[in-house]
Chains A and B, each alone.
Chain A
Amino acid sequence: MLKLIQNEWMKLWSRKASWIMVFLLAFVLLGTAGITKWVNSTMESVNTESWQEVETNELAYNRSMLENPELSDAQREYFEGEAAISEHRLENDLPPYEYNTMQQGVIESHVMMSIVTLFTVIIAGGIVAGEFSQGTIKMLLTRPVKRWKILTSKYITTMLYALLLAVVLFVVTALAGLIFFGIGEGTFLVWNGSEVVEGSFWLEGLKMIALSFASVWIIGTFAFMLGTVFRSSSLSIGLSIFLMFTGIQAVFLLANYEIVKYYLFTHTDLTQYYTGFMPVEDITMSMSVIVLFVYFLIFMAISYLTFGKRDVTA
């Protein structure tokens, strides 16, 4: 199996597109940071509020949210935590991270994960379909290796590439922050459920990246399935990207129906449990993980069945 993955990895990096996507990701991250820096330098400082004023406002907002009796447990916990952190800051005179610093950038690096999803989909949709369109599938399947092993090696390779992109995202975000803004002052505080403690921005950033990776994983698996079933990379990439954007919109349309709880895109964003932004309220992290896993099993079953049984005629 290791040799098969080695093969797929070699083929992946023999194509220019794979390199271009990595460089493009780094370029976009560096570019965004650079533009932000430039825009800030041309504008006069509009933010004249002190951090104490900002925290006081936020505290008031969070408390007002907590008065809403229809709040779900997850949301209640989130606002309680936020309020506790604000109180703690004001009492102990601990300023938060300034905006546009490396530390803040690392914590928020996951917002760019959609680029990773996009690039992963491009690889996932093409890795099987490409063999069919080039005709190399005949060479690949007339080897003493069972088909499921070949498909597995392709899937693992796709996910390794996605992981690599996520690592690049994380590292380049940190680097870009360091180059353009410096590390920055301030303290990072977290609410551990009972008290406010100081947290590590590295760990927080990694945690959010890991949670966002669930979306990369499931949408990548979906594109992988489409590529295997339809043997057309453009179709599977196009359809996956289309669903990625419209699928999330559909959550709002379905929000009033029970079915939304079993709908894939309600659960793809696991960071929703930590950012307080939940379009559907009475779902939990464990439920999301289960739903995603069931979808994963279905996508994989379809991929393996079609790939294993198909008569290669092309």
Chain B
Amino acid sequence: MNEQPLVQIKNLSKTIGNKKIIKNLNLDLYKGQITGFLGPNGAGKTTTIRMMVGLMKPTEGDVLIEGQSVTQHFEESIEKVGVIVENPELYKYMTGYKNLLHFSRMHKDISKKRIDEVVQQVGMKNRINEKVGSYSLGMRQRLGLAQALLHNPKFLILDEPTNGLDPAGIREFRLYLQKIARENGVAVFVSSHLLSEIELLCDRIAIIQNGELIDIKNVKELQQSRFYFNVEPLAAAEEILTGIGFPVSQHDGGLLVETEAEHVPGAVKILVNADISVFAVQPFKATLEDQFLEMTGGGEIAQAHTE
């Protein structure tokens, strides 16, 4: 990508006691892109996010938002960020509207009209004048989103945002995030361990384990085209397909062939001509889960912080 990154995480490290929890993390986030932040429990997702929003101070390194450092120029850089850290904890003893009013006063120039607009956007109009204490978790999530969007942030950070949302709510939430990323060019950074959710939502995935960034992948790359060939005899078929240049591996009593759909009929023809019985050919989709577990070595829980 040629454009200037909106957010740059540079050599971010955090040491608590003598345990290095985050180790030299480097990551760039771009306008209009939704990046998933994936990792097993205890990998350092929440700590990273807290350093990005100024809740924790990095031991080393920095986070730049449009070139401005979060540690040096907190007010200027954070003005561009909308945050939901874990479950949105709001003031339960106040109404939803007063909560939004409260947060709006902490930003520059947010009009009452803008508050009403956001309330409308998240579909809270009918309940906004009730106390937050009476809201369901899903309602609170919506209000949490509303407070994060009040000031039209250029960068949205969400930590486990779909906790407590029902399937319809998750879908709505996903479409909404994709819409603001696409239409308003907002960079979105979402941490989650709900792999299926990340797969549907994100354009790009950063994977963290034991405080280290182990991989950054585009979701399209992950969804490379593969086909499963159920053929007999296996060895002969593998030889032929490899012979004509397809990357082939054995999988579940058949063959996995990396290829585009347009090459499949040709391959089948060659196999049939070589007297190989073709029982079935079907597109093969490895789920993100498989790949995630593969990359993180079985998704084991990171070692405890105490040694």
Residues on A lying within 8 angstroms of B by beta carbon are: 3-4, 6-7, 10-11, 14-16, 134-136, 138-146, 309, 311-313
Number of interface residues of B (CB under 8 A): 32
Q: Is the CB of A144 within 8 A of B107?
A: yes
Cβ–Cβ contact B56 & A311, under 8 A: yes
Question: Could you tell me if B89 and A134 are in contact, using CB atoms closer than 8 angstroms?
Answer: yes
Sort A-B residue pairs by CB-CB distance and give the 9 closest, nearest first.
Answer: A135-B89, A143-B106, A144-B79, A312-B55, A3-B105, A311-B56, A142-B83, A144-B75, A142-B53
Q: State whether A139 and B57 are in contact (beta carbons under 8 Å apart), knowing that A7-B102, A145-B75 are contacts in the complex.
A: no
> When the two chains form their complex, are residues B107 and A139 in contact, meaning their CB atoms are under 8 A apart?
no
- Determine if A145 and B90 form an interchain contact, defined as CB atoms under 8 angstroms apart: no
Q: With the chains together, A138 CA to B54 CA distance in Å?
A: 10
Bound Cα distance A140, B53 (Å): 11
B300 at the interface (CB under 8 A from A): no
Q: Which residues of A contact B108 (CB under 8 A)?
A: 144
B78 contacts the other chain (Cβ, under 8 Å)? yes
User: Is B23 part of the binding interface, using a Cβ–Cβ cutoff of 8 Å?
Assistant: no
Task: State the main secondary structure of chain B at its contact with A.
Answer: loop
The residue from A134, A140, A142 contacting B92, defined by CB atoms under 8 A apart = A134
Per-position binary interface string of chain B over residues 153-193, scored 1 when its CB falls under 8 Å from any chain A CB and 0 otherwise: 00000000000000000000000000000000000000000
Please name 4 further chain A to chain B contacts, defined as beta carbons within 8 Å, in addition to the given A141-B55, A143-B107, sorted by A numbering.
A14-B94, A138-B83, A142-B81, A144-B107
Contact yes or no, B56 A312, CB < 8 A: yes
Q: Which residues on B sit within 8 Å (CB–CB) of A138?
A: 55, 83, 85-86, 89
Q: CB-nearest residue of chain A relative to B56?
A: A311
* Selected A-B contacts with CB under 8 Å, 25 pairs: A7-B105, A10-B98, A11-B91, A14-B93, A14-B98, A15-B93, A134-B92, A135-B87, A136-B89, A138-B85, A138-B89, A139-B85, A139-B90, A139-B147, A142-B53, A142-B54, A142-B81, A143-B78, A143-B106, A144-B75, A144-B107, A144-B108, A311-B50, A311-B56, A312-B50
On whether the beta carbons of B106 and A145 are closer than 8 Å, the reply is yes
Q: Does B76 contact A (CB under 8 A)?
A: yes
Whether A14 and B91, one on each chain, are in contact in the complex, defined by CB atoms closer than 8 angstroms, is: yes
